[in-house]
Amino acid sequence: MSITKAMWTGVSGLGAEGSALGVIGDNIANGNTVGFKASRALFEDVLGGAIGSNVGGGVRMARAQQIFAQGSIVNTGQATDLAISGDGFFVVKGALGGVNGEFYSRAGQFTPNNEGFLVNPQGLKLQGYAANADGTFQGGLSDIKLPTAPLAPNATTSFELDANLDPNEVPPAVTPFDSANAAASSNFSTSTEVFDSLGNAHTVDVYFVKTPTGWDYHATTDGADLTPPTVGPFEIGSGALTFNTDGTLATHTPAVPVAASFAGAAAGQAIALDFGTPGTNDGITSLGGASAVNGQSQDGYSSGLLSGVKISPDGVVMGTYSNGEEMAIAQVAIAKFASNDGLDRAGGNSWLKTRESGEAILAAAGTGGRGALVAGALEQSNVDIAEQFVRMISHQRSFQANSKTITTADEMMQEVVNLKR
């Protein structure tokens, strides 16, 4: 190797080590950047001649390899902050650095903007699968948007009752059932709040009357709430129940199906009374013991405003409303790549897919090797500062050694020059 060649070899070492120090500086600078992934410098030797020659031509930094190791997950208490525990990336869409399209990120700092869209600090919109009315999710990606309009009311269509009616009861002294004197003409009662098509609440009382063959029931409501209005309780439905010898329901025979025309609302609102499956203990029973209600529910609700958001580990975004209802809004999509290392950094805590990374394969969190979501938390940078300082010292020493190669070669060149004198 010539003296000049030695100098150029030293120069290549200075350039490579300087570039490596730049990688380390970038890592240290992003030590507190949410979702940041550290890089490391990969070196390769340079041939000084044809393949097979024993003379080297120095070194160069081949590239900065990204390390996609998991960063620490720290709780923030912010409901829309998200962290991925495992492999995968959030899909965000919008304009970044003059490029408009889809980007991929590990930084889950999402907040609703003035239109309700979940966006990151760069204004990119989080992508997912919108919820259908039946609770399923659509197949195509779309922007995840939190509802800004009130939740429309839902009229009650069914009332489920889980109760026990004491078989040792005797028919009441006052017969037949009289809604104006319900307490004296019935054995047991329960009440529930139902909602009309406007979302107004009304109380429906269900009275049970022991008969020689089983039980009758009568549903009443305040007549002042009806069209036309009446004075006092008004019966809106009735029926009969019989039970098997093991106390399970045998038959349910509605005599007058429960229906009401509440003032100002849709006329003839039907409310199905669900007493359970005959032959089972999953509804109303007639077992030895006092009459008691074990549980009841109805499917109506009033209008309500969005009051909060909950996100499950599989990415389902649930809206909680001021009326106590919870509704699925969307499901966060998680992208997985054949080679994370092939992704290109796009800035703004985001990456772009490339030929080397392969196409993004989208699905729900926790499926197909994708990590689970942790709501109310963020993934911190995976930079180990202590490790970076150790590497910095190593590259600094190597830089100094390469500079020594140059100064030594320079001294030798001076000796050659001095031979002429």
The set of residues, in sequence order, having a beta carbon less than 8 Å from that of 338 and lying 6+ positions away, is 357, 358
Take residue 165 and report the two structure tokens written for it: 């009616």
Closest residue by Cα to residue 207 from 229, 192, 225, 223? 192
Residue 285 burial (CB < 10 Å; 0-12/13-18/19+)? buried
pTM: 0.81
Residues 13-30, mean pLDDT to the nearest whole number: 93
pLDDT, one tens digit per residue, over 169-195 is: 999 989 999 999 999 999 999 999 999
Inter-residue contact 124 to 350 (CB < 8 Å): yes
pLDDT confidence bin for 317, thresholds 50/70/90 = very high
- Beta strand residue intervals within 339-406, DSSP E: 344-347, 350-352, 361-364, 372-375, 377-379
Lowest mean pLDDT among 146-150, 202-206, 269-273, 406-410: 406-410
Look at residue 51 and tell me whether its pLDDT is greater than 70: no
What is the rounded CA–CA span in Å between residue 253 and residue 164? 18
Long-range Cβ pairs for the range 353-361 (8 Å, 24+): 353/104, 360/89, 360/91, 360/102, 360/104, 360/335, 360/336, 361/335, 361/336, 361/337
Instruction: Give residue 12's pLDDT.
Output: 85
Task: Determine the angle formed by the axes of helices 3-29 and 385-418, rounding to 10 degrees.
Answer: 160
Take residue 120 and report the two structure tokens written for it: 């990151």
pLDDT, mean over the chain: 93
pLDDT confidence bin for 352, thresholds 50/70/90 = very high
Residue 201 burial (CB < 10 Å; 0-12/13-18/19+)? middle
Quick one: what percent of the chain has pLDDT higher than 90? Answer: 84
Take residue 276 and report the two structure tokens written for it: 């359970």
Inter-residue contact 264 to 198 (CB < 8 Å): yes
Residues 81-102, mean pLDDT to the nearest whole number: 96
Take residue 184 and report the two structure tokens written for it: 């004296």
What is the rounded CA–CA span in Å between residue 369 and residue 265? 51
pLDDT confidence bin for 1, thresholds 50/70/90 = low
- 3 state DSSP class of 150: coil
User: H-helix or E-strand containing 195?
Assistant: strand 188-195
Instruction: Give residue 50's pLDDT.
Output: 60
CB-based burial, 8-36: b 16+ in 10 Å, e otherwise: bbbbbbbbbbebbbebbebbeebeeebbb
What is the rounded CA–CA span in Å between residue 187 and residue 393? 88
Instruction: Give residue 54's pLDDT.
Output: 62
Look at residue 52 and tell me whether its pLDDT is greater than 60: no
pLDDT, one tens digit per residue, over 393-407 is: 999 998 898 888 888
